[in-house]
Structure 1
Amino acid sequence: MITFNQIDSQTFLKDYWQKKPLLIKQALPNFISPITPEELAGLSLEDEVESRMVLQHGTQDYELRTGPFSEQDYASLPEKNWTLLVQGMDRLIPEVQQLLNQFDFIPRWRIDDIMISYATEGGNVGPHFDHYDVFLLQAAGQRKWMLTAHNCELDNYLENTPLRLMREFNIEEEYVLEAGDILYLPPKWGHHGVALDDDCMTYSIGYRSYKGQELWDSFGDYLSESSLFQTMYLDPNWQNTQPGEINNQAWLNAKQLLQAALNDEQSLQRWFGRFATQLDQQAHNALPEPLTDEEAGDLEAFIEAIKQADYLERDPICRFAFQRICEELVLTINGFEWPTEGIADGVIMQIANHDRIDANTLQRWSKQRPVTEWLYQLWIRQFLQFPDTTEQAECFEGEA
Structure 2
Amino acid sequence: MSGDGQSLRERFEAAFMPNYGVPPVALARGEGCSVWDADGRRYLDLIGGIAVTSLGHAHPALVEAVSRQVATLAHTSNLFLHEPEVLLAERLLGLLGAPARVFLANSGTEANEAALKLAIKYGRSRGRHYFVAAEMGFHGRTLGALSLTGKPSIRDQFGPFPIDVRFVPYGDADALKNAVTDDCAAVFLEPTQGEAGVVPPPDGYFRAAREICSATGALLVADEIQSAIGRTGHWFAHQAEGVVPDVLTLAKGLGGGMPVGACVGFGEAGTVFAKGDHGSTFGGNPVSCAAALAVLDVIERDGLLDNVKTVGALLSEGIAAVRHPLLRGVRGRGLWLAAVLAEPRSAEVQAAAQEAGFLVNALQPDAVRLAPPLVIDEAEARSFLDALPGILEAAHG
TM class by shorter chain equals under 0.3
Q: Which has the higher contact order (CA 8 A, sep 6+)?
A: 2
Bigger share in strand: 1
